[in-house]
Amino acid sequence: MKKFVLIRHGQSEDNAGKVSRGLGKTHLTDKGRQQAAATGKHWRKKPDLIVVSPFIRTTQTAEPTIKRYSDVRVATWPIEEFRQLCSFRYEGLSMEHRIEHYKAHWDKNDPDFKDGDGVGAESLRDFTKRLDLLDKKLIQTDFKLAYIFCHGFFLRGFMLRHIWGSTRSMIRNPQGFHTATRAWHYPNCGTVQGTILKDGSMQLGNVSVVHLPKQLRS
């Protein structure tokens, strides 16, 4: 059996309501760095693979773990957050100022819609392909234990993919998918344990933050 842990990044500047540095460029806050440090100290077993997304906040979250296990291979997989908005809607804008654009996207209920000029943006269909790709990479990549640093919406989407059995429902009903992702909270540095059985099937546990002191939970 192969085991893995899915970890959401620590609190980011965007999460804290600050102005964004740009798509994928958001850094962790002081609290986020403390969450990352607590997560890095938490591990009981050494992994043989650490995975990050291309976005800075996952790399920063993984840094304490990478430093602790400096001889473990590190890979970057396309598991970044849903690139729902084009690049120019991020830089210099806070979440408060982007929220109307997020809402307009979901109101279209179109799985092939790409926002604005399309630079940096992807459609929901593109996003679901990345969810499917993570599933394949977990099965096909050689490891016994992997720590995978990722993003909240992406992780909720991945969990729904397994609850529903595929991404087809997401494509057929984007608004319904969006509503379903909002049904539970995936806290910063929250973890989910996963197991891939010998027959290739996958089991996912519940979201946990027991490794974080109460003052660091968000």
- 49-71 per-position pLDDT tens digit: 999 999 999 999 999 999 999 99
3-state SS, one letter per residue, for the chain? CEEEEEEECCCECCCCCCCCCCCCCCCECHHHHHHHHHHHHHCCCCCCEEEECCCHHHHHHHHHHHHHCCCCCEEECCCCCCCCCCHHHCCCCCHHHHHHHHHHHHHHCCCCCCCCCCCCCCCHHHHHHHHHHHHHHHHHCCCCEEEEEECHHHHHHHHHHHHHCCCHHHHHCHHHHHHHHCCCCCCCCCEEEEEECCCCCEEECCCECCCCCHHHCC
Q: What is the pLDDT of residue 176?
A: 97
pLDDT digits (tens, 9 = 90+) for 1-58: 899 999 999 999 999 889 888 888 999 999 999 999 999 999 999 999 999 999 999 9
pLDDT at residue number 202 = 93
Q: Rounded to the nearest 5°, which phi and psi values hold at 68?
A: -65, -40
Average pLDDT for 188-192:
98
The overall average pLDDT reported for the chain is 94
Q: What is the pLDDT of residues 75-114, one digit of tens each?
A: 999 999 999 999 888 888 888 888 998 999 999 999 999 9
pLDDT score, position 200 = 84
Structural domains of the chain, with CATH: 2-216 (3.40.50.1240)
pLDDT at 144: 97
